Amino acid sequence: MLLLRWLLFPISIIFWLIGIVRNALYNNHLLKSYAPEIPSICIGNLRVGGTGKSPMTNYLISLLKMEHPLTVLSRGYGRKTTGFHLVRHTDSSLDVGDEPLAYKLEHLDTINVAVSENRRNGIQQLLPFPTNAVLLLDDALQHRQIKAGLTILLSTFDAPFYNDFLLPTGNLREAKSGANRADIIVITKCPNDISNEQKDAVTKKLAKYQKKIFFSKINYAALTPISKLVVKDIEKVLIVSGIANPQAILNHLSAIYTTEHINFSDHHDFSQKDIEIIHKKFDTFANRNSIIVTTHKDFMRLKNVLSELHLENYPWYILPMTVTIENENEFNQLIRNYVRKI
């Protein structure tokens, strides 16, 4: 696989040239970017998948929603619909995508969530915004038609963008120079025991971008049952994932329980056959101390095909996750100062 990627290196060069020309057209105002009239925060990355955008977006929602009318605008990746759609709690992931639905179900009427593959059109559809409103642009760093007022770039500790290369040789969506458009860089999924020396090494690598840098960690809460079967003394866990990078979840659960893992592709559209495969695998080792665990985002897609009978007969659980940011007060103040000055 690695050899094949390097054989495709010429395509990466073409991809790089296209990106350089496209960004130059926007940077020199030959292609126009639309700046929303209200405070807007872009949460994005340079690398495909698995950098922790959903936990960071949830963090910002929780930080701002009590003081500001808040709207999250997303592409709605993986949905079967097109165009603009205002997300309702009765929608399915097929209508709006798993991440937007997860935001809506967690925060309900305290926020608005919308999806539109054309972000500018999505913003126009949302007008007029109420007084003191804030707009979160989920995964919009490469969407240059919109110029956010504040951009947060996420990069994982174990696979930082500065050590990567453009697709298809590497996993970058655009050149590393795209980091220059960020205002803040957050290194995500850091180990709990990260040392000052490790942080210094990352900071030195990022020094040329002259951005404010923060380090963050994923925290896991207690397993939460979503079926009628509740297991008191859990010993063995079947992990079901359809996310880009499940390694952190595997590491966390494997340190506590005996685990098995069924891995699907990112944003996998689960089917009845998939449920049969999962339950058949569970039946091969299950005892009264065994459960099935998935992520909250995966459950947005799983619940389309999980019947009441399934949830009566199998112990499905969710592993909730949140993000903790080092120097949290400083980070929060930067965000609040931005939204208050507009």
The residue extents of the domains of the chain are 32-219+324-341, 224-319
Instruction: Write the DSSP assignment of 153-210 as a string of letters.
Output: EEEESSS-GGG--BTTTSSBSS-GGGGGG-SEEEEES--TT--HHHHHHHHHHHGGG-
CATH homologous superfamily, domain 32-219+324-341: P-loop containing nucleotide triphosphate hydrolases (3.40.50.300)
Q: What is the predicted pLDDT for the residue at 2?
A: 63
pLDDT band at 299 (very low <50, low <70, confident <90, very high): very high
Can you tell me the mean pLDDT for 119-141? 96
DSSP 47: B
Can you tell me the mean pLDDT for 150-166? 96
pLDDT band at 127 (very low <50, low <70, confident <90, very high): very high
Can you tell me the mean pLDDT for 233-261? 95
Look up residue 317 and give its amino acid.
Answer: Y
Q: What is the predicted pLDDT for the residue at 9?
A: 82
**Per this entry, what is the length of the chain?**
342
Q: Which fold has domain 224-319?
A: Rossmann fold (3.40.50)
The per-residue pLDDT for range 168-206, each reduced to its tens digit, is 999 999 999 999 999 999 999 999 999 999 999 999 999
pLDDT band at 4 (very low <50, low <70, confident <90, very high): low
Average pLDDT, rounded, for the chain:
95
pLDDT band at 50 (very low <50, low <70, confident <90, very high): confident
32-219+324-341 shares its CATH topology with 224-319: yes
Can you tell me the mean pLDDT for 268-292? 95
